[in-house]
Amino acid sequence: MNSADLLPSILGIALVAAAAAFVLLPFARGVRAEVAPAVVELDQPDRFALYQQVLELDFDRQLGKLSDEDYDKLSAELLAEAGEALREERGTIGEIDEEIEREIAAARAAFAAAREGAARKPARPRRRKPAPTAAGEF
């Protein structure tokens, strides 16, 4: 056999071995321990999810999918539920209403900033390479 005929065979065997090693490597490492998911109490509403629902109602109202009366009614119900969840979480009434309003205002500001950022994101113009001149210069 000629050495020129042997080289492609050796390279082919090496590529097959590398592919097999790549495929079998996860099995050789073994099973990793799974991280236990956080325990969520199902009987208590998540107040941040309630705030998100208020924001979605606000967005639906802006789009015209929801009337002002329906928005007022539904958002009042959700905010009352969020207030109750916060009272249960904190145990005191104190400044809960103000904190709810601050959190909603912060969430609305973040939502508006994200929406404006997506709307204002201009398309990047592609840079073109200058055409070569007759002398071959750029």
**In 91-133, which residue ranges form alpha helices assigned H by DSSP?**
96-120
> Among residues 12, 33, 16, 35, which one has the least CA distance to residue 24?
16
- Give pLDDT tens digits for 78-95: 888 888 887 777 766 556
Q: Under a CB-based contact definition with an 8 Å cutoff, are residues 104 and 54 in contact?
A: yes
- Give pLDDT tens digits for 41-73: 545 568 788 888 988 999 899 999 989 999 999
Per the prediction, the chain carries an average pLDDT of 77
